[in-house]
């Protein structure tokens, strides 16, 4: 399987890879080396979404994309909640290279649009359809949803930031050693 490295300038995105830092739900880096990778089909869908966002003077900030199976186990061991994390025995769309976690930022100054919760918020406020959020926040989430859906992405109802290709389980799981990304290597 072919993974494509997602980085500027080839992809006009901001990278804020949460699991390569301690600024994530575990409080410790999960990845040893920061890198953003996607399956070639997902990279093509991201490229389409980038063009759509650019028309609105927006771009994407990526929190996570391909997540090696080893990393999924680390997250699961920290918080084994199937409402927010895929059980690694079943496999995550991230571990197949066909999922991405992201938000929208203004192109002019890279200011993130308000989404109502931070990335990896495990509460009902993170749900796409959380009705208790202010209309402006819901509008931003719907904008993100519309851009991603128009480019060929499906969404996960419990996480406003998570998108994946349709039928993600048709893609094989990838351990870092097989993907050769070096994300988990010393």
Closest among 46, 48, 39 to 67, alpha carbons compared: 39
- Angle subtended at Cα 24 by Cα 27 and Cα 153, rounded to the nearest 5 degrees: 160
Instruction: Strand 162-165: give its sheet, edge to edge.
Output: 13-15, 58-64, 99-106, 162-165, 153-155
Distance CA 120, CA 106 (A): 21
Q: Is 55 designated active site?
A: no
Distance spanning both ends of the chain, measured CA to CA: 23
Distance CA 56, CA 86 (A): 33
Residues in the chain: 186
Q: Residues with catalytic annotation?
A: 159
């Amino acid at each position: 399987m072919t993974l494509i490295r997602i980085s500027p300038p080839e992809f006009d995105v901001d990278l804020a890879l949460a699991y390569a830092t301690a600024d994530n739900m575990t409080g410790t880096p999960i990845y040893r080396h920061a890198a953003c990778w996607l399956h070639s089909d997902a990279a093509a869908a991201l490229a389409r979404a980038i063009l759509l966002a650019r028309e609105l003077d927006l771009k994407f900030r990526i929190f996570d994309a391909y997540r090696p199976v080893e990393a999924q186990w680390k997250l699961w061991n920290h918080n084994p909640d199937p409402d927010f994390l895929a059980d690694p025995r079943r496999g995550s769309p991230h571990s197949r290279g066909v999922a991405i976690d992201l938000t929208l930022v203004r192109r002019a100054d890279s200011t993130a649009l308000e989404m109502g919760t931070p990335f990896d918020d495990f509460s009902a406020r993170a749900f796409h359809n959380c009705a208790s959020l202010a209309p402006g926040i819901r509008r931003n989430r719907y904008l993100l949803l519309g851009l991603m859906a128009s480019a060929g992405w499906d969404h996960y109802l419990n996480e406003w930031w998570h998108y994946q290709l349709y039928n993600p389980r048709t893609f094989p799981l990838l351990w870092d050693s097989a993907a050769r990304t070096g994300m988990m290597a010393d």
